[in-house]
Structure 1
Amino acid sequence: MINVTYYSFRKEDCQEVLNLWLNIPGIHLHSNGEDSIEGIAAYLERNQGCSFVAKYDGKIIGAVMCGHDGRRGFIHHLAVDNKFRRMEIGKTLVQISLEQLRKVSIKKCALFVLKENTEAENFYKSLQWQEEDIVKIYAKIL
């Protein structure tokens, strides 16, 4: 097993994390500014201590953005470098994010998976996440 370090996702990590996300199939980055360094930094500021990165040998190999609106938690853009998959890094990133949500009394967390990302679907199902069929997501670019 490799020695992975986990710590809170910081503004200084944004460019390296963006580079990771750009190389992971199944991650969709928005071009309207929300997935820019500034947009991510603002999200991290509003949701301090909920998002995490995994580092090995000085390089970020995994990351997750997590936050809440005071009522529900949300997980965005969980990714692990392909060379480091199946080592429980993604599972650990999700677990420590959920621990942070529990600390602020969040009772339920949701996440978004692209329709064609069956690998992500299988991953979350293996962690006992359940697909909900009671909502549809609508979006509008502002």
Structure 2
Amino acid sequence: MHYRPMTLEDYHAAVALWQQTPGVRLRDADSFEGITRYLSRNPGLSFIAEQDGEIIGTIMAGHDGHRGFIQHLAVAERHRKQGVGTALVERCLNALRGEGIDKAHLMLLTDNESGKRFWKRLGWQFRTDIELHSFVLSDSPSA
């Protein structure tokens, strides 16, 4: 297994993996342009797992200077339960630590039961004291 930072050249293979992964939902922000901005703003924080030249795992991370955010952890079905996801998470957390970030968050779809079990096993805690609210800027009228 080979792990390395994610690049724009990985985009199409990463999207194909995300589309095949239950619990990963793609949005407009996951367009080529969106991922270009994300990787440019957060260099060296997102990772790929490769085997025999095939991308079999991804994870993306970024931060706002205060908190880290983990997104799009995906491992190809036939490579699960082999430590690939855990290794990708460790790489992201170490990269975030290197940026001076000491806390990270992630969002899970409410029906992603396997994702909940995975993150709980790694020690992540479900929060009941906060709510997530979103606002889609492209849906709002211009001033």
Q: For the superposition of Structure 1 and Structure 2, which TM-score range results when normalised by the shorter chain?
A: over 0.9
1:120 paired to 2:115:
yes
SS in 2 for 1:34: helix
Cα offset, 1:97, TM superposition:
0.4
- Which residue is equivalent to 1:10? 7
Secondary structure of 1:26's aligned partner: coil
In the other structure, the counterpart of 1:133 is 128
Cross-structure match for 1:37: 32
Q: Which of the residues 55, 59, 62 maps onto 1:64? A: 59
Task: Quote the residue 1:102 is aligned against.
Answer: 97
Aligned to 1:87: 82
- What is the TM-score of this pair, normalised by structure 1? 0.95
User: RMSD between aligned alpha carbons?
Assistant: 0.6
Q: Kindly provide the CA deviation profile for residues 41-82 of structure 1, in whole angstroms up to 9, marking residues without a partner as x.
A: 110110000000000011000000101000000000100000
Which is greater in Rg? 2
Equivalent residue, structure 1, for 2:141: none
CA distance in 2, matches of 1:41, 1:101: 19
Unaligned runs of 5+ in 2: 138-143
Which structure 1 residue ranges, 5 or more long, are not aligned?
none
Instruction: Report the TM-score, using the length of structure 2 for normalisation.
Output: 0.94
Deviates more, 1:89-98 or 1:132-141: 132-141
3-state DSSP of counterpart to 1:66:
strand
In the TM superposition, residue 134 of structure 1 has moved relative to its aligned partner by 1.5
Instruction: Measure, in 1, the Cα distance between the counterparts of 2:63 and 2:32.
Output: 20
Partners of 2:32 and 2:2 in 1: CA distance:
23
1:94 & 1:41 partners in 2: Cα distance? 21
Report deviation, 1:141: 1.2
Give 3-state SS (helix, strand or coil) of 1:120's partner: helix
